[in-house]
Amino acid sequence: MQCSELELVFEQEGLAPLSAEARQHLSQCSACKHFVEDVTTIVALAHELPADVEPPEHVWVSIREQLVLEGTVREFSEGKEAASWWQSFAELFRNRALATATLAAVLGVAGLSLYRTPPETTSEIQNDPYSSTVSMLSAQEHDLTNMQLASTASTSAVDASLRENLQQVDDFIADCERHVKEEPSDELTREYLTNAYQQKAALLSAMMDRGGSLN
């Protein structure tokens, strides 16, 4: 067995008991051995993370849609193994902080891919490349509004500051969106818009975490 073959086995079967062939390769290849040890450690530590806070289902749906859209993964109905891999992935990251980081990474990748796409082909591929991001953030904002309505805690200067900054981010996003509609190929504005979405995702997450910790 070669290193690449072991990698494939590992990707498809995860940490399930390895075959004799795979074990034999591990006994001879220090690089693969260290890789497996490291992944085992990561998974063990991930299981120790608190799992009491679950991100909303739409987060996983949106991430999946984004990954499919980018061609990073195929539609999950195409293969059972892929679905299984995805479920394991979701189980591993059922934590709001990690979910937010993943969301930020997806936004980053989306922004980067847009940035690198030649302007003339951008509009042909996607009429509105930010639509999934916008709907994802809207859903997150809706959850936050519900949480704030249910909250009995008094409003502090910090909450006021967070809300004020959220308003500033929304205004900035609206301004950039208007400009991008007028000039879809303006890369600098698209870059600012992508960063603004990331900032908004992080801000909403911070506001939800704060609401959760104080109520």
Partner 1 sequence: MKLSTVVTGKIILPVIGASFLLFPSVPAEAAAQRLEKHFSVKGRPVVVIHNIGNGRIEVKSWKNAEVVVAGTKASDKIAVDTEQAGDRIDVTSSVVDGTAKPSEMEANFQLTVPEETELQLTTQTGLIYVEQVTGDMTLESVAGDVHLKEVSGYIIVSTTGGSLVCTQCAGKLEFNSISGNAQVLQPALDNVKLRTMTGNILFDGDFVHTGLYSMRSGKGLVEVRFSGNDSFDLNAQTATGTVDNEASEYLKPDSHGMKHMASKFSKSLFGTVGTGFAKVELSTYSGTIRILKRD
Residues 134/173, Cβ–Cβ less than 8 Å: no
Q: Which residue, 21 or 183, has its beta carbon nearer to partner 1?
A: 183
Least distance (Å) between residue 68 CB and partner 1: 30
**Contacts of residue 64, Cβ cutoff 8 Å, sequence gap at least 6:** 73, 76, 86
Nearer to partner 1, 21 or 37 (CB): 37
Q: Minimum CB separation from partner 1 for residue 161, in Å?
A: 4
Rounded to the nearest whole angstrom, what is the least distance from the CB of residue 206 to partner 1 in the complex? 7
- Rg (Cα) of the chain, in Å, rounded? 21
Closer to partner 1 by Cβ: residue 20 or 31: 31
Those residues with Cβ within 8 angstroms of residue 111's Cβ, 6 or more apart along the chain or in another chain: 190, 191, 194, 195, 197, 198
Residues that bind partner 1 (CB under 8 A): 34, 37-38, 41-42, 45, 153-154, 156-158, 161-162, 164-165, 168-169, 172, 175-176, 179, 183, 185-189, 192, 195-196, 199, 203, 206, 213-215
Least distance to partner 1, CB of residue 186, Å: 4
* Helix/strand/coil for 94: coil
Residue whose CB is less far from partner 1, 149 or 157: 157
Nearest approach, Cβ of residue 98 and partner 1 (Å): 17
Nearer to partner 1, 23 or 178 (CB): 178
Q: How many helices (H) and strands (E) does the chain have?
A: 10, 0
Rounded-to-5 percentages of helix, strand, coil across the chain: 80, 0, 20
CB of 192 to partner 1, least distance (A): 4
Q: DSSP label at 122? A: H
Residue 116 one-letter amino acid: R
Cβ pair 140, 201 in contact under 8 A: yes
20 or 149: CB nearest partner 1: 149
